[in-house]
Amino acid sequence: MSKSTLILTSETETILNGESEEKYMKYAKEHNLDIGGEMHYPLIMSFIAPEQIVDAVMKVHPEIVIADDVDFIVANAYHDGRFIKMFEDKGISVVNSKMPISLSDLNRMIDDDMLEELKEAVYYVIEETFKERKDRIAIITNDSSRDEFMDFVKRLSEESEKVCIIEMPAFDSSMSKHVDFCIKDSDVNKVIVYDDELKIKSMEQYLFKLQTKDHIEISFMEDYDMANNQPLKLQEMVLN
């Protein structure tokens, strides 16, 4: 019986497409795997919060995870092999379809000096990423007059290059052009949906378009850490 398999990647483009899909299907056939889809995660997450990636994968319940990206290999070494162990502790095997040896064996081949140099490089990249990051955020709400909402906007404004508010009592597809205009006019790279009442199917379909075609980061308040204004980013993991 074929083992249920998930491709895990930090690539922004679809993996199971064209020549790449043919290679994965060939690999799956040779190793008796049933590839059910692919999950995408923000590259930085493999270094700062790998447990969130593991938790997201667990919701799909694969037996095998194919992780071919270089950043996954580096992140596993950075975490002293604990990234892969998190999966193994959940009963999930991690493989690399491009390498003849296991990722765990590869990690053991990295000596201490090389590992320390690697960690220093990763620390620097993470530090620079968050230091230089200035988001341009659009917050969608059905009521901007609330004190707690304006407090939230104020906190975001202190950390962001720009914050704009899009207010609507409800969402329907006819409003997408208006939202598009606001987002493009403000050169937004992140959208936060403040109110759960706006999370209807048509809104989620529209947001999915923003995320996949316009590469705009989407956050819902339930996924948002109010303490430090950083999204948990699980919503950026897209399962195809």
Which residues, including other chains, have CB under 8 Å from residue 190's CB and lie 6 or more apart? 135, 136, 137, 138, 216, 217, 218, 219, 231
50 and 144 both lie in a single domain: no
39 and 90 both lie in a single domain: yes
Inside any domain, residue 178: yes
174 and 104 both lie in a single domain: no
Inside any domain, residue 113: no
CATH number assigned to the domain comprising residue 36: 3.40.50.1390
102 and 67 both lie in a single domain: yes
141 and 229 both lie in a single domain: yes
**CA angle (40, 238, 203) in 5-degree steps:** 150
139 and 214 both lie in a single domain: yes
> What is the rounded CA–CA span in Å between residue 161 and residue 108?
43
Q: Are 192 and 229 in contact (CB under 8 A)?
A: no
77 and 157 both lie in a single domain: no
Domain limits at 33? Answer: 3-108
Inside any domain, residue 91: yes
17 and 99 both lie in a single domain: yes
CATH number assigned to the domain comprising residue 172: 3.40.50.2300
What is the residue-level pLDDT of the chain in tens, covering all 240 positions? 889 999 999 887 788 888 889 999 999 999 999 999 999 988 778 888 899 899 999 988 999 999 998 888 888 888 888 899 999 999 999 999 988 766 666 666 666 776 677 677 666 666 665 555 567 888 999 999 999 899 888 888 877 778 889 998 888 777 788 888 888 777 888 889 998 888 888 888 888 888 877 778 888 876 654 434 444 333 344 444
Q: What is the pLDDT of residue 25?
A: 94
Q: What is the pLDDT of residue 106?
A: 63
> What is the rounded CA–CA span in Å between residue 140 and residue 135?
15
Domain count, the chain: 2
Structure tokens at 210: 């923003």
What type of residue is 113?
A: D
> What is the rounded CA–CA span in Å between residue 26 and residue 8?
17
Q: What is the pLDDT of residue 73?
A: 83
Q: Is the dihedral of CA 55, 65, 69, 207 positive or negative?
A: negative
11 three-class SS: coil
Q: Give the domain-ending residue among 64, 90, 108.
A: 108
Which one-letter DSSP state was computed for residue 239? B
Q: What is the pLDDT of residue 125?
A: 63
Inside any domain, residue 117: no
Beta strands in the chain (DSSP E): 3-9, 33-40, 64-66, 93-95, 136-141, 162-167, 190-193, 217-220, 224-225, 230-231
Q: Give the domain-ending residue among 57, 91, 108.
A: 108
Q: Are strands 224-225 and 162-167 parallel, antiparallel or unpaired?
A: unpaired
Inside any domain, residue 62: yes
Q: In terms of pTM, does the model score above 0.85?
A: no
Inside any domain, residue 124: no
Q: What is the pLDDT of residue 87?
A: 94
217 three-class SS: strand
